[in-house]
Amino acid sequence: MKSRLIAEEKTQTWILVFDAGDEVASTLKKFAEEHHLAGSSFKAVGALSGVKVGWFNRETKKYETSADLKEQVELLSLIGDIALTPDGKPQVHAHIVVGKRDGTAHGGHLLEAHVWPTLELVLTETPAHLRKQHDPESGLALIRIED
Amino acid sequence: MKSRLIAEEKTQTWILVFDAGDEVASTLKKFAEEHHLAGSSFKAVGALSGVKVGWFNRETKKYETSADLKEQVELLSLIGDIALTPDGKPQVHAHIVVGKRDGTAHGGHLLEAHVWPTLELVLTETPAHLRKQHDPESGLALIRIED
Amino acid sequence: MKSRLIAEEKTQTWILVFDAGDEVASTLKKFAEEHHLAGSSFKAVGALSGVKVGWFNRETKKYETSADLKEQVELLSLIGDIALTPDGKPQVHAHIVVGKRDGTAHGGHLLEAHVWPTLELVLTETPAHLRKQHDPESGLALIRIED
């Protein structure tokens, strides 16, 4: 594990309120690009009319769909961060937990989620830039902190 | 989706330590009223002797009880925010995930939760006021950010 | 419930990026000790090659293993805090939610978790020191805020 102090004083806190019908992953990505976010973390609650989440398969090195829920669910937790890809674009990494009508919880890596009626997300952007590098073992771009 | 920068510098961070027997929703509401909170977000962990959570029914426009657990559970995640209702009172919006004795996770919109032996909540209040407006489609008051 | 304002201005925000193979509970404890953390909260996402979580048994006053997953899972939420034990050592309290290949969510009190390929944790340290005291009813050390 490596660590880095990313803010000693000035951080920016944003609230993002999603509208009914918004798709979460693409809306968040667009927001990150428009605001040039490079070192953010966030958390959110809300409700969704549908959600698709993934599980990373170590053999294929790809995300497979682990749940594709076409029903109204409570968004219990959406936690994630934003860092820069190797070519300098902001990349959103978000994991999600939802609650179904029977109270059971389900979740995974956020692939797609449709808001209804609202989603309230609080995001903190720090002055530090987080950078990702290609990780040959997993095939993913992972945040790398220089020694 | 609309967004707003709610804190560029001064935020207040609180720790709330609940006692055995405290009911979470009412205690948090009372704290928000006493401290005139108007733009907060929070997260918590702990354990509960019982919890009741809800799922929003789009047809009836009401929360129905999706799980009513009368047993000791680990509080895995309590995430939420506090904003002002149309008539200016702080309203707590909290979603909860719990873990049962068999390790399965359950959760929903927080209706009622009884602490045992503790619950540790970290809350950040920003200088901005978040305001809710009545949403005719869902029948709920939702946070609204002016253009 | 008791509360305390723990930061009005200066907080420190850290990002911790775990490597493949790191054990989460021990790595986090080591980090807390090395940096003398005394009033922190954190949240994280990532993925794990295995995880063991606990449920607190009120009768025995001990954590029992509620899930011992020896499989790749998405780390959907790791939320917790760091406070000082009665003898002044930093203690990590963390609760975890994971998503399995079938999209179901499981979780509990973090006992042991093995990172693969990454875990990204954002931690905020406040100037205030949080102190734990022995609680005779549960047999645990719990954060105590003086009146």
Give me the pLDDT at residue A12, please: 83
**CA–CA min distance B128, chain C (Å):** 15
Give me the pLDDT at residue C7, please: 54
Q: Mean pLDDT, to the nearest integer, of B70-83?
A: 98
Give me the pLDDT at residue C9, please: 58
Beta carbons of A105 and C105 less than 8 Å apart: yes
Q: CA B130, B79, C103: angle at the middle one, nearest 5? A: 130
Could you give the maximum distance between any two Cα atoms of chain A, in Å? 47
Q: CA A127, A27, A85: angle at the middle one, nearest 5? A: 50
Structural domains in chain B (count): 1
Strands (E), A71-140: 73-84, 90-99, 105-125, 132-134
Contacts of C104 in chain A (CB under 8 A): 104-106
Residue C25 lies in a domain: yes
Contacts of C110 in chain B (CB under 8 A): none
Q: Mean pLDDT, to the nearest integer, of B90-103?
A: 98
Dist CA B74 CA B79 (whole Å): 15
Q: Mean pLDDT, to the nearest integer, of B30-44?
A: 93
Beta carbons of A99 and B94 less than 8 Å apart: no
Beta carbons of B95 and A99 less than 8 Å apart: yes
Integer-rounded Cα Rg, in Å, for chain C is 16
For chain C, which residues lie within 8 Å of any Cβ of chain A, measuring from their own Cβ? 9-20, 22, 27, 31, 43-45, 47, 72-77, 97, 99-105, 116-118, 120, 122
Residue B7 lies in a domain: no
**Of the candidates B39, A62, B57, A40, the residue with the CA atom closest to the CA atom of residue C13:** A40
Give me the pLDDT at residue C125, please: 86
Q: Domain range for residue B75? A: 13-139
Beta carbons of A96 and C76 less than 8 Å apart: yes
3-state SS assignment for residue B145: coil
Beta carbons of C3 and B19 less than 8 Å apart: no
Beta carbons of B6 and A20 less than 8 Å apart: no
Residue C7 lies in a domain: no
Identify the H or E element spanning C18: strand C12-18
Q: Which of A81-85, B47-51, B138-142, C1-5 has the lowest mean pLDDT?
A: C1-5
Give me the pLDDT at residue A8, please: 55
**CA–CA min distance C117, chain B (Å):** 23
**CA–CA min distance B43, chain A (Å):** 9
Residue A7 lies in a domain: no
Q: Mean pLDDT, to the nearest integer, of A24-51?
A: 95
Give me the pLDDT at residue C40, please: 93
Neighbour tally for B63: CB within 10 Å: 16
Confidence at B134, pLDDT banded by 50, 70, 90: very high
Q: Mean pLDDT, to the nearest integer, of B33-38?
A: 92
Give me the pLDDT at residue B145, please: 83
Dist CA C7 CA C52 (whole Å): 33
pLDDT tens sequence across A98-116: 999 999 999 999 999 999 9
Q: Mean pLDDT, to the nearest integer, of B124-138?
A: 90
pLDDT tens sequence across B10-19: 778 889 999 9
Please say if the pLDDT value at position B8 is more than 60.
no
DSSP of C31-91: HHHHTT--SEEEEEEEEEEEEEEEEEETTTTEEEEEEEE-S-EEEEEEEEEEEE-TTS-EE
pLDDT tens sequence across B53-63: 999 999 999 99
Dist CA B8 CA A145 (whole Å): 25
Domain containing A20 — which CATH number? Answer: 3.30.1330.80
Of A11, A80, A135, the CB nearest to C117: A135
Residue A122 lies in a domain: yes
Q: Give me C20's structure tokens.
A: 């493949």
Please say if the pLDDT value at position A4 is more than 90.
no
Neighbours of chain A (3+ CB pairs under 8 A): B, C
Beta carbons of B76 and C66 less than 8 Å apart: no
Q: What is the pTM of this model?
A: 0.94
Residue A4 lies in a domain: no
Given the DSSP bridges, would you call strands A90-99 and A73-84 parallel, antiparallel or unpaired? antiparallel
Beta carbons of A43 and C44 less than 8 Å apart: no
Beta carbons of C77 and A66 less than 8 Å apart: no
Give me the pLDDT at residue A43, please: 97
Residue A145 lies in a domain: no
Beta carbons of C142 and B10 less than 8 Å apart: no
Give me the pLDDT at residue A90, please: 96
Give me the pLDDT at residue B104, please: 98
> Can you give the three-state secondary structure of B52-120, one letter per residue?
EEEEEECCCCEEEEEEEECCCEEEEEEEEEEEECCCCCEEEEEEEEEECCCCEEEEEEEEEEEEEEEEE
Interface mutation target, options B71, B92, B95, chain A, most CBs of A under 10 Å: B95
Please say if the pLDDT value at position A57 is more than 90.
yes
**CA–CA min distance A101, chain B (Å):** 6
* Contact (Cβ atoms closer than 8 angstroms) between residue C44 and residue C139: no
**Of the candidates C105, B75, C88, the residue with the CA atom closest to the CA atom of residue A107:** C105
Burial class (CB in 10 A: 0-12, 13-18, 19+), B51: buried
pLDDT tens sequence across A60-78: 999 999 999 999 999 999 9
Beta carbons of B77 and A77 less than 8 Å apart: yes
**CA–CA min distance A67, chain C (Å):** 5
Residue B67 lies in a domain: yes
Beta carbons of C17 and A2 less than 8 Å apart: yes
Contacts of A43 (CB under 8 A, 6+ apart): A77, A78, A79, A121, A122, B41, B43, B79, C43
ipTM of the predicted structure? Answer: 0.93
Give me the pLDDT at residue C121, please: 94
Query: Mean pLDDT for chain A?
Result: 92
Dist CA A24 CA A96 (whole Å): 11
Using 50 as the pLDDT threshold, list the residues of chain C that sit under it. 1
Identify the H or E element spanning B26: helix B24-34
Neighbours of chain B (3+ CB pairs under 8 A): A, C
Q: Which amino acid is at A35?
A: H
Give me the pLDDT at residue B143, please: 92
Specify the DSSP class assigned to residue B28: H
Give me the pLDDT at residue B12, please: 83
Dist CA A67 CA A95 (whole Å): 13
Neighbours of chain C (3+ CB pairs under 8 A): A, B
Query: Mean pLDDT for chain B?
Result: 92
Interface mutation target, options B45, B53, B79, B123, chain C, most CBs of C under 10 Å: B45
